[in-house]
Chain A
Amino acid sequence: MPAIIGTVPDQNFPLVHGFVKLSGNNLLIGNHMIPVNRGTPASLAAAIKASKALGGPEIYAFLTGDIGRGNGSRNLYEFLTNHIQEFSFDIITFHYLHPILHWHNRLLPAFESMKPRPLLIADAGFMYVAKMSGQAFRYDVFTPDIGELAFLADEMAPHPFYTRGFIMHQEANAPELINRAYTGKNSAKALLVKGAKDYIVSKNKIIATVDNPSFEAMEAIGGTGDSLTGLLTLLCAMGYDTVNAAILAAQTNRWTGYFANPNPASQIIELIEEIPRALLHVLNNYQTEKTNVRN
């Protein structure tokens, strides 16, 4: 069973955990309703939508309200450190949490001692603190965009805000940045780099790139990276290994663009709506390719 851990942009939202449902443009957890915008709600909505299309597992979430002050995140770090042993998950995705170094360093051993140890995916603020801790290599997958990849490549930067200028944040430099991130031990075992071309990397080797179909507008749309992380989480939970799950997630995310035909003003929910169509299209091709390889 997969779990996604993150925040909701409402400072009055309490710490809650449980299975999440999608109803129209809202998530439902317990008695709480959360609009699907960007951030963790978008990631959850994408995972739920994909799971429904594939007959997959329910998605568990640990959520708290935080608008950047860090209070909600701090409570969630503490709760998880003390209680995660009471749960069992195959996949855990850490998402929009306030990066707090000392809490990260207490949390990681608690997750690593779960039996069995879950696959650990980190995105957004939690990926920042994982890198800053010097323990990035203990995670299974990071999902940076090109600006965040430059940050992983800069061994001095504690946050993307401080990435040094000589480490160019340009797409053409992605292979060099990937190598630098691995060499500095600032990468997880695998990377799914989101950009005009998506890179799927395992142990410092670029295994695949995905650049078709391509919609420039998607870079401007808030939440496209979040939906990709949700898709990755779900596909890992469906039994795909991290590399194949990352390739399929990247392809599916792009095909949502094909079906939604977005412009830079489109909102993420329009793309999430197209996940079932996009996923079935991608998985049909995947099966056909596998059959062709066998024949």
Chain B
Amino acid sequence: MLRHFWKKLFKVSTRNAASVDRGILVFENTSEVIQAETILKRMEYPARVMGPPQDIQTGCDLVIEFPLLDQLKILHELELNGLQPLQVVPITSSLLKPVDIFYTKDFNDYLMVRAANMKITINKQEMKIVNISGGGCPDVPFLAYQLVGKKLSEAPRPRDLGHTLCGYTLELAYEELKKTCQP
């Protein structure tokens, strides 16, 4: 495991390291990216979830952008939490940014927030999630099953159960909904 760790570190340090100050962590799947983001946010590292460069896209991907200077500490922290990125790559081209535009629709008794292809709706009086729609990845029906019927304050966060970009998009809509509903 340690050898693998140093190999990855070496790969980065010999590739382009002088020309860039940001790198990306590539993981096996989106669930691992979400876990890694949670860990790095907790440690207050300036890490951002982004889209992978075209040459390493496989289908339903996220990567974590991070300052290369913090690479050693970050890999160590992830390893302590049982996470190992598949690749650590310096950024040499621009990354795709996650969607950051939200649409809100007020149905009088209900409020719906849409982020990209995902929508979440609550009953305003009871603050209960009444519907989740949109999306196309297989965790959407699963997330809907887990969240619909629960109060916003008691429902699990989509990021804790989701495994795909649709799950992550639902998390963004959910966060926006929470912000909108704050007194």
CB B176 to nearest CB in A, in angstroms, measures 14
CB atoms of B105 and A72 under 8 A apart: no
CB atoms of B142 and A68 under 8 A apart: yes
Measured between alpha carbons, how far is A39 from B97 in the docked complex, in Å?
Answer: 27
CB atoms of A219 and B112 under 8 A apart: yes
A-B interface contact total, Cβ < 8 Å: 191
The residue among A148, A159, A165 with the most chain B CB atoms within 10 A of its own CB is A159
CB atoms of A100 and B99 under 8 A apart: no
A211 on the interface (CB 8 Å rule)?
A: no
Interface residues of A (CB under 8 A from B): 7-9, 37-41, 66-70, 72-73, 96-102, 104, 123-129, 132, 145, 147-148, 150-151, 156-165, 169, 216-217, 219-225, 263-267
CB A263 to nearest CB in B, in angstroms, measures 7
- A8 contact set on B, CB distance < 8 A: 141
Q: Which of B97, B131, B136 contacts A221 (CB 8 A)?
A: B131
Q: Which of A100, A128, A264, A267 contacts B112 (CB 8 A)?
A: A264
The 8 closest A-B pairs by CB, nearest first: A68-B139, A124-B136, A68-B163, A39-B141, A265-B130, A9-B142, A147-B117, A222-B133
CB atoms of B105 and A219 under 8 A apart: yes
CB atoms of A7 and B138 under 8 A apart: yes
CB A98 to nearest CB in B, in angstroms, measures 6
CB atoms of A161 and B130 under 8 A apart: no
CB A49 to nearest CB in B, in angstroms, measures 19
CB atoms of A220 and B103 under 8 A apart: no
8 extra A-B contacts, CB within 8 A, seeds A70-B29, A164-B96: A73-B138, A125-B60, A147-B118, A160-B169, A165-B100, A169-B101, A219-B119, A265-B110
Q: Which chain A residue shows the least CB distance to B62? A: A161
- What 1/0 flags go to B8-37 for Cβ under 8 Å of A? 000000000000000000000111000000
Measured between alpha carbons, how far is A48 from B131 in the docked complex, in Å?
Answer: 24
Which residues, 112 to 156 on B, are CB-close (under 8 Å) to A? 112, 114, 116-119, 121, 123, 130-145, 148
Q: Which of B99, B134, B163 contacts A70 (CB 8 A)?
A: B163
CB atoms of B130 and A162 under 8 A apart: no
Do A100 and B133 form a contact, CB below 8 Å, given A38-B141, A265-B110? Answer: no
CB atoms of B136 and A96 under 8 A apart: yes
Q: Which of B117, B131, B162 contacts A220 (CB 8 A)?
A: B131
CB B46 to nearest CB in A, in angstroms, measures 21
Q: Which chain B residue shows the least CB distance to A7? A: B138
Interface size class of B (residues with CB under 8 A): 35 or more
Do A37 and B117 form a contact, CB below 8 Å, given A125-B136, A220-B112? Answer: no
Measured between alpha carbons, how far is A79 from B30 in the docked complex, in Å?
Answer: 24
- A97 contact set on B, CB distance < 8 A: 138
- B90 contact set on A, CB distance < 8 A: none
Measured between alpha carbons, how far is A98 from B142 in the docked complex, in Å?
Answer: 13
CB atoms of A68 and B107 under 8 A apart: no
Do A169 and B116 form a contact, CB below 8 Å, given A98-B60, A162-B97? Answer: yes
Q: Which of A69, A158, A217 contacts B57 (CB 8 A)?
A: A158
CB atoms of B165 and A222 under 8 A apart: no
Q: Which of B130, B133, B138, B165 contacts A9 (CB 8 A)?
A: B138
CB atoms of B116 and A160 under 8 A apart: yes
CB atoms of A98 and B59 under 8 A apart: yes
The residue among B57, B58, B148, B162 with the most chain A CB atoms within 10 A of its own CB is B58
B164 on the interface (CB 8 Å rule)?
A: yes
B174 on the interface (CB 8 Å rule)?
A: no
- B132 contact set on A, CB distance < 8 A: 38, 222
B85 on the interface (CB 8 Å rule)?
A: no
Measured between alpha carbons, how far is A32 from B61 in the docked complex, in Å?
Answer: 32
In the complex, 22 of the A-B residue pairs with CB atoms within 8 angstroms, ordered by the A residue number, are A9-B139, A9-B145, A39-B140, A67-B142, A68-B143, A72-B138, A96-B140, A97-B138, A124-B137, A125-B137, A157-B96, A158-B51, A160-B117, A160-B169, A169-B103, A169-B114, A219-B119, A220-B112, A220-B133, A221-B131, A222-B144, A264-B131
Do A147 and B107 form a contact, CB below 8 Å, given A159-B60, A219-B133? Answer: no
